[in-house]
């Protein structure tokens, strides 16, 4: 069970994440994108999902990552990500509900480069009961 006291709380990622050109190149290559001067629009999921995993699986929150299914995803991109961006990442648990034995968690990720908010994204994650 996910700890209901975690709803409404924001958790900061432990480390700053630096985006490299080789990461953008690899992500772009998979989808056949030849312009790698900026990251493809869904690139930030690479950062957000790993942050979610480290934050949400903490014992005080209690998500079982092996039972996780991705329900939906939304991005708001204030400017494209580029190589050299250094992101401070935060994850906010917005809602938690239980439907048919599955726990459904809505979480927002904000990626800041210094004071600049670059990408906000929202993920609905389903922990299958």
Q: Which spans of this chain sit near another protein (rule: CB under 8 A)? A: 23, 26-27, 29-33, 35, 38-42, 45-46, 49-50, 69-77, 79-80, 122
User: How do 68-77 and 86-99 pair as beta strands?
Assistant: unpaired
Minimum distance of another protein from residue 1's CB (angstroms): 20
Minimum distance of another protein from residue 109's CB (angstroms): 13
Closest CB to another protein among residues 3, 108: 108
Closest CB to another protein among residues 35, 60: 35
Closest CB to another protein among residues 10, 50: 50
Minimum distance of another protein from residue 5's CB (angstroms): 28
Long-range Cβ pairs for the range 72-76 (8 Å, 24+): 72/122, 72/123, 72/124, 73/42, 73/45, 73/121, 73/122, 73/123, 73/124, 74/121, 74/122, 74/123, 75/41, 75/42, 75/44, 75/119, 75/120, 75/121, 76/119, 76/120, 76/121
Minimum distance of another protein from residue 124's CB (angstroms): 8
Closest CB to another protein among residues 5, 86: 86
């Amino acid at each position: 069970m996910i700890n209901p006291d975690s709803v409404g709380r924001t958790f900061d990622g432990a480390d700053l994440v630096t985006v490299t050109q080789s990461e953008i190149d690899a992500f772009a290559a998979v989808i056949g994108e030849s312009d790698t001067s900026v990251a493809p629009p869904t690139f930030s999921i690479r950062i957000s999902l790993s942050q979610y995993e480290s934050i949400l699986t903490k014992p005080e929150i209690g998500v079982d990552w092996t039972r996780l299914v991705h329900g939906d995803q939304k991005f708001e991109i204030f400017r494209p990500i580029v190589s050299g961006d250094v992101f401070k990442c935060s994850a906010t648990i917005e809602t938690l509900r239980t439907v048919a034995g599955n726990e459904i968690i809505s979480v927002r990720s904000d990626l800041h480069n210094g004071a600049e908010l670059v990408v906000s994204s929202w993920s609905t994650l389903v922990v299958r009961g």
